[in-house]
């Protein structure tokens, strides 16, 4: 059967994780990189065969009913990620301490940080006097902490040295899709920059320089439809380790 796993862009990878996998309970993960000089498609085939990833929707549903975990596999460039749901599976024993839970250990991908958390409030409806606490687990996509600190230091250094137009282009050109938590991070940067400019008697940067709508992308391009079966000799799959070599 055809199994799509190769993702074209980092935006597509983050979107697929945030919209298609994490909301459906794929909270346990292991990441790795295809070593230089190794064929990524052979690594794909080994991991997909060993961990039984290429299943139909019906097969996954049956496994879930009897308490077995389901796995998903994705790769962007040379970065691969195996994700699992709750349940029994050799993945957990073999992964050991390398298996992370996205609810407690954010998944770091290309400068993004993805986690699953409870908390916050639901959007108020007309007539509501107070906000209702949100008790469901939600996927949060943010700029990773270290990347955000670097971005903050850079922009605050430029805040008094560049024109409003130049700073607007810098903020508007930040290379992260504006998921709601990222919008809040960027609005916080804008507030800090404007506070510095106000103290120096300079004009403020208007909030409309920021991009508030994220682009919806197609995670899988034409090349992503390759079938994992046949990419490596069948007998090789059992030799996969957590650092495929």
Q: Answer for the pair 8, 193: CB distance below 8 angstroms, yes or no.
A: no
CA angle 134, 138, 144 (to 5 degrees): 125
Instruction: Name the packing angle between helices 180-199 and 145-158 (round to 10°).
Output: 30
Task: Provide the residue ranges of all domains of the chain, joining segments of one domain with +.
Answer: 6-120+219-239, 145-175+178-209
Written as six digits, the tokens of 130 are 């107070």
Q: Kind of pairing, strands 71-76 and 79-84?
A: antiparallel
HSE, side-chain direction, 13 A CA sphere, residue 8: 10
Q: Report the pLDDT value the prediction gives residue 224, as an integer from 0 to 100.
A: 38
pLDDT for 158 equals: 97
Strand order across the 71-76 sheet: 6-7, 71-76, 79-84, 28-33, 100-101
Q: Any idea of the CA torsion for 24, 101, 225, 79, to the nearest 10 degrees?
A: 160
Residue 104: how many CA atoms within 13 Å on its side-chain side?
Answer: 4
Q: For 171-212, how does the pLDDT look when each residue is reduced to its tens digit (9 = 90+)? A: 999 999 999 999 999 999 999 999 999 999 999 999 999 999
Which carries the bigger pLDDT value, residue 21 or residue 245? 21
Q: How many CA atoms lie within 13 A of 88 on its CB side?
A: 5
Q: What is the pLDDT of residue 118?
A: 86
pLDDT at position 222: 64
Query: What is the per-residue pLDDT across 29-87, written as a single tens digit (0 to 9) for each?
Result: 999 999 999 999 999 999 999 999 999 999 999 999 999 999 999 999 999 999 999 99
| pLDDT tens profile 16-41 | 999 999 999 999 999 999 999 999 99
Q: Are strands 138-143 and 28-33 parallel, antiparallel or unpaired?
A: unpaired
Q: What are phi and psi of 29, to 5 degrees?
A: -145, 155
pLDDT value for 12: 97
Q: Is the pLDDT of residue 240 over 90?
A: no
Distance CA 211, CA 126 (A): 27
Confidence of residue 1 (pLDDT cuts 50, 70, 90): low
- Looking at the predicted structure, is the pLDDT value of residue 234 above 50? no
pLDDT category of residue 238 using cuts at 50, 70 and 90: very low
User: In this predicted structure, what is the pLDDT of residue 196?
Assistant: 97
What band does 123 get if pLDDT is binned at 50, 70 and 90?
A: confident
- Total H helices, total E strands in the chain: 7, 8
């Amino acid at each position: 059967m055809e199994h799509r796993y190769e993702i074209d862009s980092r935006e597509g990878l983050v979107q697929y994780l945030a919209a298609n996998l994490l909301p459906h309970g794929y909270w346990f993960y292991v990441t790795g990189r295809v070593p230089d000089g190794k064929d990524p498609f052979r690594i794909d085939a080994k991991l997909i065969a060993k961990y039984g990833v290429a299943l139909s929707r019906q097969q996954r549903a049956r496994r879930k009913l009897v308490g077995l975990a389901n796995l998903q596999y994705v790769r962007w460039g040379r970065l691969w990620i195996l994700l699992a749901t709750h349940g029994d599976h050799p993945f957990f024993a073999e992964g050991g301490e390398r298996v992370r839970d996205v609810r407690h250990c954010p998944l770091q991908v290309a400068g993004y940080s993805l986690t699953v958390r409870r908390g916050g409030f639901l959007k108020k409806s007309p007539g509501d006097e107070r906000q209702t606490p949100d008790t469901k687990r939600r996927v949060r996509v943010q700029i990773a902490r270290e990347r955000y600190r670097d971005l903050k230091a850079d922009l605050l250094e430029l805040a008094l040295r560049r024109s409003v137009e130049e700073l607007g282009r810098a903020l508007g050109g930040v290379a992260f899709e504006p998921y709601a938590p990222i919008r809040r991070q960027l609005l916080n940067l804008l507030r800090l920059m404007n506070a510095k400019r106000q103290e120096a008697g300079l004009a403020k940067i208007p909030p409309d320089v920021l991009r508030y709508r994220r682009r919806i992308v197609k995670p899988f391009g034409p090349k992503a439809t390759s079938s994992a079966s046949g990419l490596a000799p069948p007998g090789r799959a059992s030799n996969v380790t957590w650092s495929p070599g």
